[in-house]
Amino acid sequence: MDKKQTILITGGAGFIGSHLVLHMASHYAHYHIVNLDALTYAADVSLLDAVSGFDNYTFVQGDIRDRNFIQELFDTYGFDHVIHLAAESHVDNSIVNPAVFAETNVLGTLNLLEAVKTQWEGTMAEHRFYHISTDEVFGSLGDRGFFSETTPYDPRSPYSASKASSDHFVRAYYHTYQLPVLISNCSNNYGPHQHKEKLIPLFIKNIIEGKNLPIYGAGTNIRDWLYVKDHVQAMDAIFHRGTPGETYAIGGNNELRNIDLVRLLIQYTDDLLGNPKGTSESLITYVTDRKGHDFRYAIDATKLKDKLQWEPKANFEEALKETIVWYLGKYKS
Ligand code: NAD
């Protein structure tokens, strides 16, 4: 029998990574999924309880910044493929402490690239190094236009600068060492499992607790919201059927102004809590805008549709309500 393919997924105890690990471990019995996560404040390993007893799943706590540890991990497992999500991911934190974003997002990625470069020498075509990135590397859009795979990089926050830098290293390893890399740049995700520092979980928690809902600036910044389970389907398609050296832009075809998203959150959450309509509207509080706040992100995902037949499937209203129900279960005592 063929040896089981061993896949390293980094950052699998975080928001998107946990959904990907659950999907991969439960759909592909012939893979051995090794989830490497440092368990920072953003992680929650209990999100993976459903697969923790599976034979094809192993959790390893460790830090991608530690090059010796990464080398030992590769020596131990001989990974066939890597799907790399581990990152510092919160823009506000990157404004306060940029250094850790360079250390984890740039140097951590470099450590993984170095490890695979050595390990896969002579057998590159059999492997995949799939790097998960963000549309924030492209900067900020005005009222019109979309980001796509060919949009020039223009990162504006320490977070997006660190992700852009890691993308460049990944691409450089493709051109220089023929490493079989795949990159995807994705828009804002929503769904269960996200840390409460991010807008949607924070606002649901605050609505439950009757606390203020702090909105940056006038709330007119626009994001293209993608349901995390649609993102998982896109990652599955790219990992299995993507072409090495290629980049794929992933979006939700779902642009919303922050204030409109917040109004929907209020409406659905009040409704699910049994509050009279409009109860939590008074919690909206406008605060000084984020430094360098990008105005609009929007993705043209035509390439993914044409080449890999992927499209976002979620109905936004249903998926947002499902998301709110999950957070109500978590935060409502
Ligand atoms: P997250 O912050 O929820 O999870 C990140 C995970 O990485 C955590 O479990 C954390 O413990 C782990 N981690 C952090 N530093 C580490 C280190 N040094 N070593 C090992 N593990 C470490 O992030 P997320 O929202 O799930 O994002 C996952 C990836 O997707 C990131 O690369 C991010 O840039 C990208 N992305 C996210 C979004 C989004 O909307 N959340 C959109 C596009 C791209």
Tens of pLDDT, residues 256-306: 999 999 999 999 999 999 999 999 999 999 999 888 888 999 999 999 999
Q: Is 64 in the pocket of ligand 1 (CB under 6 A)?
A: yes
Give catalytic residue positions: 135-136, 159
Q: Interhelix angle for 199-209 vs 316-331, to 10°? A: 60
Secondary structure (3-state) at 272: helix
Q: Whose CA is nearest to atom 9 of ligand 1?
A: 14
Contact assessment for residue 46 and residue 14, using Cβ atoms and an 8 Å cutoff: no
Contact assessment for residue 216 and residue 287, using Cβ atoms and an 8 Å cutoff: yes
Segment 206-222 shows an average pLDDT of 95
10-24 per-position pLDDT tens digit? 999 999 999 999 999
Q: Which atom of ligand 1 is nearest to the CA of 43?
A: 9
* Sign of the torsion angle spanned by Cα atoms 203, 230, 253, 289: positive
Contact assessment for residue 6 and residue 35, using Cβ atoms and an 8 Å cutoff: no
Q: Interhelix angle for 199-209 vs 258-273, to 10°? A: 40
Q: Whose CA is nearest to atom 4 of ligand 1?
A: 14
Contact assessment for residue 70 and residue 112, using Cβ atoms and an 8 Å cutoff: yes
Angle at CA 185, nearest 5°, toward 26 and 225? 80
Q: What distances in angstroms separate CA 227 from CA 63, 146, 161, 232, one per listed residue?
A: 28, 19, 24, 9
Whole-model pTM over 0.85: yes
Dist CA 42 CA 20 (whole Å) = 16
Segment 151-176 shows an average pLDDT of 98
**pLDDT band at residue 208, thresholds of 50, 70 and 90?**
very high
The beta-carbon contacts of 107-110 under 8 Å, at least 24 apart in sequence, are 107/65, 108/63, 108/64, 108/65, 109/64, 109/84, 109/166, 109/169, 109/170, 110/166, 110/169
How many angstroms is it from 274 CA to the middle of ligand 1? 34
43-57 per-position pLDDT tens digit? 999 999 999 999 999
Contact assessment for residue 204 and residue 165, using Cβ atoms and an 8 Å cutoff: no
**pLDDT band at residue 1, thresholds of 50, 70 and 90?**
very low
Complete DSSP assignment for 137-170: GG--B-SS--B-TTPPP---SHHHHHHHHHHHHH
Q: Which atom of ligand 1 is nearest to the CA of 190?
A: 40
**pLDDT of the residue at 332:** 87
Q: Is 188 in the pocket of ligand 1 (CB under 6 A)?
A: yes
Which residues, in sequence order, are CB contacts of 275 under 8 Å at separation 6+?
A: none
